[in-house]
Amino acid sequence: MGCFLSKSNAQADSLNDIKDNTAPLPEQSVVTYAAECGPYSDKNGSRDAPAASEIAQSYGFKRYEYQKLAKATRFFSNVHRIGEGGFGIVYKASLDDDDVAIKKLKIVKLENKLEEIEYLSVVRHPNIVKMIGYCSEGEDKLLVLEFVPNKSLRHHLHDEDKLLEWSKRIKIAINSARGLLYLHEELNLKLYIEILKQIIFFSVIILNQSYADPEYGDKQRVSEKSDVYSFGVVLLELITGRELSDKQGNTIVNWARSQIGQALDNDDYTVLVDSKLEDMYNKEEMIRMIYCAAASVYKPSYSRPTMKQVKCVCM
């Protein structure tokens, strides 16, 4: 499948198209698919699923005692806490002389995490973390994951003392796109909401409505095109250096809607692009990123590009 925008003709692409992209989303839009049932459900959703602990053991994951994980995190002290998602809190710890991330699940039944455990067991990609082991004792359910040393994107973008260079922002975008494309095409998985949040630099992003596809409302459901939307929001962060929302509650998506069209119309990126970058960026790369972000965020789901197309343009 070809790219939705030629890398060499980014500026030549019709500006009318980008304006159409920034039009309000329709009230009803077509969604490619909704990830609703796990791989062990039959058509009626009645097939018995094996316990998640059985899945973990069958793939050779190490089983840890709760006390060992608790001691490694000083009994889940805030000092060791590095992030929180919709389904659990993540702590940094040292086990067997290696740094790891321990995810303490909020939900009681580990069986509800069956998809995450099985998918993490087969994922092997440099931009996606690996699962090492697990713990299941009573109501205490934990996953032990590879530790990714990089802090969150928010930390790097808004560090007052250090500039996140444009070359590094491009690298973040490309690596994240590679990870998502791997999940979409090579693994062909439908349920990976947790894995998505563990892609490098997505790893400590809290499940935040600012990243959620508005076509799903407040439902935490994902599809290939909702992933593209979330990725587009991250691109807006990389381009603008802005917070997801300001103190008045204005979101980066709403703010950038008009700024993108003006920037491309006037060939002036002063307002849109992160002021900390000044002129220290490649203009052609910036324009490609802007088009990717606009097509990913402002188009209805059925018109959004695929991650393959996005990766093609970003590179």
Do 252 and 243 meet the contact criterion of CB atoms below 8 Å apart? Answer: yes
Q: Binding site annotation covers 7?
A: no
Residue 242, amino acid:
R
Provide CB contacts within 8 A for 19, sequence distance 6+: 261
Q: Are strands 131-137 and 140-146 parallel, antiparallel or unpaired?
A: antiparallel
Do 136 and 110 meet the contact criterion of CB atoms below 8 Å apart? Answer: yes
* Burial of residue 14, with CB atoms counted within 10 A of its CB: 0-12 exposed, 13-18 middle, 19 or more buried: exposed
Return d(Cα 309, Cα 118) in angstroms, integer: 28
3-state secondary structure of 134: strand
Binding residues for ATP: 104
Known binding-site positions: 104
